[in-house]
Amino acid sequence: MPDLLDITRSPIRASGSAVQPLYLATDVSGYDSLDILLYVPALEGESRGMTVSLRTGLHLDSDDGWVVLCNLPTFSASNFRARVSIGGGFLRYVRWSLASFTVATSVTFWVQAVGYGRGAS
């Protein structure tokens, strides 16, 4: 059976660019593929488009060696949902990153994943 992985752990409210702290990164080493689910229930102010990225890395010691795994679809309105499938290419950990924005006041979002493969119970 696939496993549900809560990448953000709870809804995130941001009023500028932000990156998930290293200690909150999700261990995905037991999975061969991931279905990523992005939900944006609230976007305050007007926006020309914002992007949540997923980064992947091998350790939790520093930001060194972390690379962008994928950019989730750009959104510019509330109640946005998107699904992206990743068939591999990720390292041990995954965490989110929100690109800088200047027009919108704030955004609330969360990211979950369904993990498939050797780690799924």
- The yes-or-no verdict on residue 101 having pLDDT over 90 is no
Can you tell me the mean pLDDT for 45-67?
91
Under the banding of pLDDT at 50, 70 and 90, the label for residue 119 is low
- The yes-or-no verdict on residue 121 having pLDDT over 90 is no
- Give the residue among 18, 77, 23, 78 at the shortest CA–CA distance from 52: 18
Say if residues 4 and 68 touch (Cβ distance below 8 Å): no
Beta bridge partners of 70: 54
Rounded to two decimals, the pTM is: 0.89
What tokens were used for 77? 């309105």
Which amino acid belongs to residue 49?
G
Instruction: Calculate what percentage of the chain has a pLDDT beyond 70.
Output: 93
* DSSP code string of 46-70: --S-B-EEEEEES-SS-STT-EEEE
Q: How many angstroms separate the CA atoms of 84 and 95, rounded?
A: 15
Under the banding of pLDDT at 50, 70 and 90, the label for residue 118 is confident
- The yes-or-no verdict on residue 97 having pLDDT over 70 is yes
- φ and ψ of 105, to 5 deg: -80, -45
Domains of the chain: 3-116 (2.60.120.380)
